[in-house]
Amino acid sequence: MTRISPELLQRFDVQGPRYTSYPTADRFVEAFTADDYAQALRQRGAQASTLPLSVYVHLPFCASLCYYCACNKIITRHHSRASDYLDLLHKELDLQVAELGRGQTVSQLHLGGGTPTFLSDAELARLMAMLRGAFELAPGGEYSIEIDPRTVDTERLRALWDLGFNRLSFGVQDFDPQVQKAVHRVQPAEQVFELVAAARDIGFESLNVDLIYGLPRQTGKSFARTLEQVSALRPDRIALYAYAHLPDRFKPQRRIISSDLPDAAGKVGMLAGALNAFERAGYVYVGMDHFALPEDSLAVAKRQGRLHRNFQGYSTQADCDLIALGVSAIGRVGPTYGQNAKTLDEYRDLLEQGRLPVVRGLAVSRDDLARRAVIMALMCQGQVVFEAIELAWMLDFRQYFSSEMVQVMKLAEQGLVTVSEAGIEVTAEGWYFVRAVAMVFDRYLQADRHRSKFSRIL
């Protein structure tokens, strides 16, 4: 397995974006308004596009607080708030469909949060009825929901299946009891094993498990035990994220004792251990965050060069428009991004005025689009073919990206990429730092060295 030298770790374990979009969300501006986003919806509707949509619904409620969490969430035990929130979602859906047109085909749906399973079965049924009334859900599409194992049982899993979900993502993070206690999320491993077995019996097509390394009280030895348990669980996909400790930005993280966190060398050791453990278990390293069994569609897409990246991470879904619903949700329609209000009060106020709750966004420039193509090629295929970019954007790659190529050549000297007449390719060692490679082509980031708002790349 590729080893990471301390020198490379020190040099490239920097702060940087995850590139679930480009430009990244921190570049969105309030000058982009709800009217701009509505125009983008109308333009898509007028074009009668045959390309299917992706839909994301943000459900922010959680019954208890996980200290590591950096998501937009609302902690409450008052389940009546979910019904009120569905009323707001219905208003937003009607406003978007009024511009977009009813009945457009959707081939990918994801419910995230928060804790989507905070909602009752009846509330989830109401939500799915709303979505089916607005869109045409394509047969064979990917319909997924994030699961907090503490909120479901076998009966609930059957209800989710009956509602049309065919993919589940279980939030595990770590199986070690001491780590779970330190992050205020105690859930016995046995519970997760039972739920995964039940989900397989019911017929769910793909099961994902989320893990986090770098959590308080994690050690190389304790995380190795979690890796063994996850390998035995054998989910179809594994998402492995680095914990980003940003207590100044995310208030819940202030409850984490900094001295309990592993150091940078310990974190990269956990990453290396995970890569090795999952490789031994037969998983394909899809890229940055994701592993998949060889027969899973994500691994197949990786082999066939069809991998894409969106706000949910790596995806098999072709590059497409994303309709986003709910507080703080980010949508992408045509050459625009739009983000909803981040607070529930502002979100409600805008909807009650009959306005789309978009409060910021961006109209993407031609330069943005060209750079997005380069960054996503690096992140998803691990290579950039000069000719492909030149033909698509009518530019001379080496000339247009002349300053960037100087930095690329330095990365090549350090073994992170190889450069040929045909293009740039990320090396096996470079995959550990693919975000650092992509950052070279981020015009905004190169002009702004103040990166404290981002997580570290390892």
Parse the chain into domains and list their residue ranges.
1-23+365-458, 24-324
Bridge partners, 142 (sequence order): 108
Mean pLDDT of the residues in the chain: 92
- Which two structure tokens, joined as six digits, stand for 403? 């300053």
Per-residue pLDDT of the chain in tens (458 residues, 90 and over written 9): 555 555 565 666 677 788 889 999 999 999 999 999 999 999 999 987 778 999 999 999 999 999 999 888 999 988 889 999 999 999 999 999 999 999 999 999 999 999 999 999 999 999 999 999 999 999 999 999 999 999 999 999 999 999 999 999 999 999 999 999 999 999 999 999 999 999 999 999 999 999 999 999 999 999 999 999 999 999 999 999 889 898 998 999 999 999 999 988 888 789 888 988 999 999 998 877 789 999 999 999 988 888 888 887 888 877 789 999 999 999 999 999 999 999 999 999 999 999 999 999 999 999 999 999 999 999 998 999 999 999 999 999 999 999 999 999 999 999 999 999 999 999 988 887 888 999 999 999 887 655 555 666 66
- CATH fold of the domain at 1-23+365-458: Arc Repressor Mutant, subunit A (1.10.10)
Rounded CA-CA distance 437/425 in Å is 10
Rounded CA-CA distance 422/71 in Å is 41
For the chain, how big is the Rg over CA atoms in Å? 22
- Between 3.40.630.10, 3.80.30.20, 3.40.50.300, 3.10.180.10, what CATH number should domain 24-324 receive? 3.80.30.20
Rounded CA-CA distance 411/437 in Å is 8
With CA atoms as reference, report the closest residue to 107 among 169, 152, 49: 49
With CA atoms as reference, report the closest residue to 349 among 34, 3, 10, 15: 34
Who contacts 4 (Cβ-Cβ below 8 Å, separation ≥6)?
268, 272, 429, 432
8 A C-beta contact, residue 456 and residue 244: yes
pTM of the model: 0.92
**Cα distances (Å, whole numbers) of residue 212 to 4, 224, 240, 274, 286:** 20, 12, 6, 11, 17
Q: What is the dihedral of CA 222, 228, 230, 231, to 10 degrees?
A: 160
pLDDT at res. 13? 67
Region of 312 on the Ramachandran plot (φ > 0 left; ψ -120 to 50 alpha; else beta): alpha
pLDDT at res. 456? 64
Q: How far apart are the first and last CA of the chain?
A: 17
8 A C-beta contact, residue 77 and residue 131: no
8 A C-beta contact, residue 347 and residue 340: yes
pLDDT at res. 18? 84
Rounded CA-CA distance 237/297 in Å is 10
Percent of the chain with pLDDT over 90: 75
With CA atoms as reference, report the closest residue to 170 among 205, 208, 133, 144: 208
Task: Look up tokens 């390998």; give the residue.
Answer: 231
- Which two structure tokens, joined as six digits, stand for 270? 């956990």
pLDDT at res. 3? 58
Task: Look up tokens 């374990």; give the residue.
Answer: 13
**Cα distances (Å, whole numbers) of residue 262 to 109, 268, 432:** 36, 10, 19
Rounded CA-CA distance 126/436 in Å is 43
